[in-house]
Chain A
């Protein structure tokens, strides 16, 4: 695969141009969030010390600074409060229509989560519609393991999609 104008980058992976999170354990102490996502679970961290549920997940509690946190499940269904639809001029990495919605998952701190809406034709979404978690594969992360060579670490990410009526 050629890189236009930069021959030395042929077949190399620049993480500074990766639109997806570096989800692997080697690069992210919140790797469990993505492992849970692979099981179809949307999770975040709860502090065992003060009880605060934070979104997105943390490695320390922002309230009491405890490191004793656990993953808890967030609801997988929510309601669309408001949404926007971009049909033309969608940026690289996304397909038209690029739909964004503020979703109420019904519990704190996820009463106004901003997410992409996928599997939805332009002009069909309405305020108040029910949406559900949609997990999808994204390109694997190529990690240089020295003598072992490059290991591909599988990745997923999430959006929401309309619940079929």
Chain B
């Protein structure tokens, strides 16, 4: 009989432009995580999964897991490794930790994600982004930095479904306003629709607030079993009910949808995760979706089944993603306002839904019992979904 996996605790350091080294950020986030669960000590942790994609390029450090283990004071005996799925690295780490603790191959696993992206010379991280997509076939065309790709995506959504710039701006406004009081977010300010509509152009139709920033940061969470968790906490337990990770292509020419706004691989990942979690889109009370760009959130709410395909613009533009709406989305500020240190993002999302399901979130969704997190990574090459709940799958 497989054991039930739960997310026990989590924390993140201040995200933004940080005067710090990669390993400093991991230490700060580990401290924040242990502050969240004072009964748990580093010596209790028997596994470590590190999610970091740019350690090799921006910090000249590969084989990152032992480096981080030593710095954060854990001595793993069941697993000590790194995973690299770029923007989905943190979620991938949680999926792997879930499998290990369910199988009995590990008991208490720390999942730690982080990136130091601001280098002494500003050109370097932008140049290194050529490695984020298929280097020889997409990076070489200047597709490393994602705004052009998502500008094409937004144009095709507007062409096929009639979404508007104002609906994109509504996503940025909602997510910035969620983050305005989040002390660890990169962007802590309220945003008005007028400001969002009049922002400087990046790649049309995308303007400044449609795009997530470059971010230094780290986040850490603990995955264990429900039985072990009860020894450390009286809080409601938050179970990982179902997961899925779908990859159908890498090179953009092989994009699986009919056009760039048809994310059939997101839908496929959602359907698989829902089936494993034994829930449906209508059961999701709060979600953290991958708003690397405002248009992404518009398409994600469609493909995840929160509204019909093509109606994501209306859904986001009519406040359905805000508290009191049909499915509040990115309630801590999302990538747009929290920032996006790639490997840390999925852990940030997991921490936010854990707090929502425990009733202690900053923007609390009433009676939240089932929640979803989602990442896309690469040139929209992979989709990763986790579904969390107050009860295990029976």
> Which residues from chain A sit less than 8 Å from chain B, CB to CB?
4-5, 16-17, 19-21, 55-56, 81-86, 88-94, 98, 100, 102, 109-110, 112-116, 157, 159
The residue in chain B whose Cβ has the minimal distance to the Cβ of A116 is: B141
Asked, given contacts A112-B253, A114-B253, whether A84 binds B140 with beta carbons under 8 Å apart, the answer is no
Q: Which residues of B contact A116 (CB under 8 A)?
A: 141-142
The residue in chain B whose Cβ has the minimal distance to the Cβ of A57 is: B137
B260 at the interface (CB under 8 A from A): yes
Shortest Cβ gap from A106 to chain B (Å) = 14
> Does A19 lie within 8 Å of B140, measured CB to CB?
yes
Q: How many A-B residue pairs have CB under 8 A?
A: 83
Q: Which residues of B contact A109 (CB under 8 A)?
A: 253-254
Q: Could you name 6 residue pairs across A and B whose Cβ atoms are closer than 8 Å?
A: A85-B203, A86-B202, A92-B127, A100-B141, A100-B143, A114-B252
B339 at the interface (CB under 8 A from A): no
The residue in chain B whose Cβ has the minimal distance to the Cβ of A157 is: B140
Partner of B152, one of A21, A93, A102: A102
Stretch at the interface among B3-11, B23-31, B128-136: B128-136
> Does A84 lie within 8 Å of B204, measured CB to CB?
yes
The residue in chain A whose Cβ has the minimal distance to the Cβ of B134 is: A56
> Does B142 lie within 8 Å of A100, measured CB to CB?
yes
Q: How far is B254's CA from A159's CA once the two chains are assembled, in angstroms?
A: 18
B156 at the interface (CB under 8 A from A): yes
Q: 6 closest Cβ contacts across the A-B interface?
A: A84-B151, A21-B136, A114-B252, A116-B141, A113-B253, A100-B148
> Does B138 lie within 8 Å of A114, measured CB to CB?
yes
Kindly list 8 other residue pairs between chains A and B, CB separation below 8 angstroms, not including A82-B155, A88-B201, A114-B149: A5-B120, A21-B136, A56-B253, A82-B156, A84-B152, A102-B260, A109-B253, A114-B152
Q: Which residues of B contact A94 (CB under 8 A)?
A: 142
Query: Which residue, B123, B135, B203, has most C-beta atoms of chain A within 10 A?
Result: B203
Q: Which residues of A contact B135 (CB under 8 A)?
A: 21
B126 at the interface (CB under 8 A from A): yes
> Which residues from chain B sit less than 8 Å from chain A, CB to CB?
57, 120-121, 123, 126-127, 129-130, 135-145, 147-149, 151-152, 155-156, 159, 201-204, 251-255, 259-260
Partner of B129, one of A86, A91, A157: A91
Shortest Cβ gap from A27 to chain B (Å) = 11
Shortest Cβ gap from A102 to chain B (Å) = 6
Partner of A114, one of B129, B143, B202: B143
The residue in chain B whose Cβ has the minimal distance to the Cβ of A56 is: B137
Q: Which residues of A contact B259 (CB under 8 A)?
A: 81, 112
Q: Which residues of B contact A89 (CB under 8 A)?
A: 202
> Does B126 lie within 8 Å of A91, measured CB to CB?
yes
Q: Which residues of A contact B159 (CB under 8 A)?
A: 82
Q: Which residues of A contact B130 (CB under 8 A)?
A: 19, 93
Q: Which residues of A contact B260 (CB under 8 A)?
A: 82, 102
> Does A114 lie within 8 Å of B141, measured CB to CB?
yes
Q: Which residues of A contact B137 (CB under 8 A)?
A: 56
Q: How far is B130's CA from A19's CA once the two chains are assembled, in angstroms?
A: 7
The residue in chain B whose Cβ has the minimal distance to the Cβ of A87 is: B201
Q: How far is B60's CA from A51's CA once the two chains are assembled, in angstroms?
A: 43
Shortest Cβ gap from A157 to chain B (Å) = 6
Q: Which residues of B contact A17 (CB under 8 A)?
A: 127
Q: How far is B254's CA from A110's CA once the two chains are assembled, in angstroms?
A: 8
Q: Which residues of A contact B127 (CB under 8 A)?
A: 17, 19, 91-93
Shortest Cβ gap from B293 to chain A (Å) = 12
Q: Which residues of A contact B201 (CB under 8 A)?
A: 88
Q: How far is B254's CA from A116's CA once the two chains are assembled, in angstroms?
A: 16
Q: Which residues of A contact B142 (CB under 8 A)?
A: 90-91, 93-94, 98, 100, 116
> Does A86 lie within 8 Å of B148, measured CB to CB?
yes
Asked, given contacts A19-B130, A55-B253, whether A91 binds B203 with beta carbons under 8 Å apart, the answer is no
Shortest Cβ gap from B130 to chain A (Å) = 5
> Does B140 lie within 8 Å of A20, measured CB to CB?
yes
Shortest Cβ gap from A75 to chain B (Å) = 14
> Does A82 lie within 8 Å of B141, measured CB to CB?
no
> Does A92 lie within 8 Å of B123, measured CB to CB?
yes
Q: Which residues of A contact B251 (CB under 8 A)?
A: 55-56
The residue in chain B whose Cβ has the minimal distance to the Cβ of A17 is: B127
> Does B144 lie within 8 Å of A91, measured CB to CB?
yes
> Does B203 lie within 8 Å of A86, measured CB to CB?
yes
